[in-house]
Amino acid sequence: MTRLALFDLDHTLLPFDSDYEWGQFLVRLGVVDGEQYAKANDQFYADYKIGKLDIDAFLRFALKPLADHPRTQLDRWHQAFMQEKIDGRLHPQAVNLVQRHLNAGDLCCVVTATNSFVTRPIVNAFGIEHLVATEPATENNQPGANFTGSIAGIPSFKEGKITRVNDWLHQLGFSLESMECSYFYSDSMNDLPLLEKVTNPVATNPDVRLRAEAERRNWPILELFH
């Protein structure tokens, strides 16, 4: 039987929100209207933290800059973003956590609401092959083509994470129920639906609401960034 290790990304393996930081990066580049974009970015982030994010509205906002620029330009910007925010800056305790599961032969996957364009290179930096993320649609559904500003499939958010993980596992010939044991590391109460589905939920750098829930359920609490 196979063991499964799922990781949220933002504020779980990373000590910040990659989607929010990508938006701030675009503001610094002057790619988007600085004041207006930053204000909206801050509001969406605040809504996420309190569990009231309108995911459809947020995705329209977050994916618009991807649709407004050619993929080649976006790729160059993302390389600069990686150099500024990620390269050489991954927290050792987060890297060690991932490495322990990889060394044990566990099937590892990052499961994040942030879109795959932003997160795929970050997940690669952790040495994780598999990613379940919100997928931006591309022209004619071609990999590497320009983005349309829409999403492909359902967002990897709240209950959507369960659906997306099940679909991914099915493609590999597995299911959550077929796993010998399953871990999910997350910081956010938004991830409660998937945390409830695994055999080993771990509240990781948890927000206030998830910390209270974890204490109530006697779930382990892991602090990676202290």
Task: Give me the average pLDDT of each 10-residue run along the chain (226 residues).
Answer: 94 95 92 86 88 91 94 97 94 98 98 97 98 95 91 96 98 95 97 98 97 98 94
What does each C-alpha distance from 64 to 19, 81, 151 come to in angstroms? 13, 18, 11
Q: Which residues contact 14 (CB under 8 A, 6 or more apart)?
A: 90, 91, 94, 122
| CATH number of the 18-85 domain | 1.20.1440.100
- pLDDT score recorded for residue 1: 66
Give phi and psi for 66, each to the nearest 5. -70, -35
**Rounded Cα–Cα distance for residues 216 and 97 (Å):** 24
Answer yes or no: are the C-beta atoms of 109 and 98 closer than 8 Å.
Answer: no
- pLDDT score recorded for residue 185: 98
pLDDT by residue (tens digit) across 10-33? 999 999 999 989 989 999 999 888
Task: List the strands of the sheet with 107-115, edge to edge.
Answer: 147-152, 130-138, 107-115, 3-7, 181-186, 200-204, 221-222
- pLDDT score recorded for residue 34: 79
DSSP the chain: --EEEEE--BTTTBSS-HHHHHHHHHHHHTSS-HHHHHHHHHHHHHHHHTT---HHHHHHHHHHHHHTS-HHHHHHHHHHHHHHHTTT-S-HHHHHHHHHHHHTT-EEEEEEEEEHHHHHHHHHHTT--EEEEEEEEEGGG-TTSPEEEEEESS-SSTHHHHHHHHHHHHHTT--GGGSSEEEEEES-GGGHHHHTTSSEEEEES--HHHHHHHHHHT--EE-S--
- pLDDT score recorded for residue 37: 87
Q: pTM of the full predicted structure?
A: 0.95
Q: Which of 10, 106, 187, 191 is catalytic?
A: 10
**Rounded Cα–Cα distance for residues 93 and 58 (Å):** 31
- pLDDT score recorded for residue 137: 96
Answer yes or no: are the C-beta atoms of 204 and 219 closer than 8 Å.
Answer: no
- 8 among known catalytic residues: yes
Give phi and psi for 191, each to the nearest 5. -95, 10
Query: What's the topology of domain 3-15+91-222?
Result: Rossmann fold (3.40.50)
- pLDDT score recorded for residue 161: 98
Q: Domain limits of the chain?
A: 3-15+91-222, 18-85
- 56 among known catalytic residues: no
Strand partners, 5: 108, 183
Q: What type of residue is 127?
A: G
Q: Which of 8, 17, 19, 106 is catalytic?
A: 8
